[in-house]
Amino acid sequence: MKKIILASVMTAIATGVYAQAGIDAQLKDAQCKSATDNIAKAEKATQDPKKGVKSASWVKLAESYLEMATNCGKDSLASKKAFETYQKALEIEKAAGGKGLKDIEKASTGTTSSLYTALMQQGAGFYNAKNFKNALDLFKLASNTSPKDTMSALYAGIVAQQSQDMENAKTYFGKFIDEGGKDIAVFYGLSELYRGDKDYAKAIEVLKKGIAANPKDKDLQSSLINVYLNGNMMNEAIEMMKQRIAGTPNNAENAKTLAEDYKNLGTLYENGASEFEKKIRPIESEILGTAKEKADAEKELASVEGKKSAQEDELKRLTDRLKKEPKNAASIKNSIASVNQMIASASAEVSSVKQKIEKLTQAAQGNAQKEAELVSLRAKDSELKGMAVANYKKALEIDPSNFDANYNLGVYYFNSAVVIKGQVDRMDMKTYNEKGKAIEEQVCGTFNEAKTYFDKCKSLKSDDQDTIANLENLKGVLEQCSKRK
């Protein structure tokens, strides 16, 4: 998944704002000594039984920590100590009645406060040192001091993501967006986090906000379409692609992009059709299987009944002989007994096959509902394929050199021809003589149409192996078509 990296910006915060490198070494040492001394005095005051219960003492200590953070930098967590000390000052002031609350809040909140600046500076320093844990802690505190600020939320999200703390990444990227941030990378990054969790509803929500904030950005639109597809929301994906197309002017500047979008819309329709095909095949197989079983059983019945009839004729012949040849009665009676056994066995076989046919007849009758369902599924499949073809052709109207649109149309017509040819192959001789040749002509015409698109693909990508294989296959098929003329 893409990570949002803004290291150069953070480096600017860490160095550019304070320009420590430009400070004279002696001056810096003096500032560090001053900050250290002030912290010591302020800490002593907070430990005093009388001064320690006054918020002013804690404010002074917080300010001393900020002096260390901004003018010296020896204590890389001085800004965090300042934050915690301001919180203590607020707690004491609230307990004392709260008269000085506004002054403390003004000093410790907002993006213009020294506390916010110090937290951001030292957080960026930790980030550049790849200490993501401390960087995240400080950026979170900066965001806490200025809840409406987008920058601190953005940096907290970035650091959290890079340290694999995905829950904090979601929280702070979400906060960035909620507070009006419009950075496209954040919308994409946050949606990818939710997509990775298979939380498609949240990913969609984020991308919709991103598109609302950046209505012309195609990448966010593509991401939303992909999330819809991941979530098996084909209709929503199609509608989003249609909106994208509607929002793209049909001019020379956008020709390639628009043609690609029409091709992609065609692919979405074709993918939708494939879902219906998955339902059609098992039902077709079941119906055809039942019909074939019944036909085979009826042939079996005719054979068994024929065998039984022949045995009955033999019984009649033996009975007549018994009357005419009393001296051979013993031998003839033995033969009659054997034939009777065979007739009994054949009768049982006839009965069994008839029962089988009865069950298959009932099954075939039960298939009537499935056949009705099949009609509906085929209609939807055909409609979606028609939409796919229309959009592929629309893509080629705009950009005839779109390889995928040409290839997909070639595959469509090739497969259509194969399906129709299958119908011819299943015809009995009577049906074939009536209409088989006309349908074969249609099959050959459809194969020729497929070849037209594959020829175009060959002209666009002469080394494409799939195209070469398809044209080689078509060569043999069309040779057979020529022989039939």
Segment 426-476, tens digit of pLDDT: 777 877 777 778 888 888 899 999 999 999 999 999 999 999 999 999 998
* Least confidently predicted of 193-202, 319-328, 386-395, 396-405: 319-328
pLDDT of res. 225: 95
pLDDT at 255: 94
Model pLDDT, residue 1: 40
d(CA 264, CA 388): 9
- Mean pLDDT, residues 125-136 taken together: 93
Residue 194 tokens, joined: 């939710």
Within 10 angstroms of residue 368's Cβ, the number of other Cβ atoms is 10
Q: What is the pLDDT of residue 37?
A: 86
Highest mean pLDDT (candidates 62-71, 167-176, 469-478): 167-176
Is the pLDDT at 43 greater than 70, yes or no?
Answer: yes
Cα within 13 Å of Cα(293), Cβ side: 18
What would the pLDDT profile of 79-90 be if each residue is shown by its tens digit? Answer: 999 999 999 999
List, in order of start, the domains of the chain with CATH numbers.
Answer: 7-181 (1.25.40), 263-397 (1.10.287), 401-485 (1.20.58)
Q: How far apart are CA 187 and CA 173, in angstroms?
A: 8
**8 A C-beta contact, residue 106 and residue 86:** no
Q: Are 455 and 470 in contact (CB under 8 A)?
A: no
Phi/psi for 214 (5° steps) reads -135, 70
Q: Write down the residue that tokens 């609230």 correspond to.
A: 94
C-alpha distances out from residue 446 to 89, 249, 460, 472, Å: 84, 34, 22, 16
For residue 25, the model assigns a pLDDT of 61
**Cβ count within 10 A of residue 452:** 12
Q: Distance between CA 21 and CA 173 in Å, rounded?
A: 33
C-alpha 244/C-alpha 222 separation (Å) is 9
In this predicted structure, what is the pLDDT of residue 24? 60
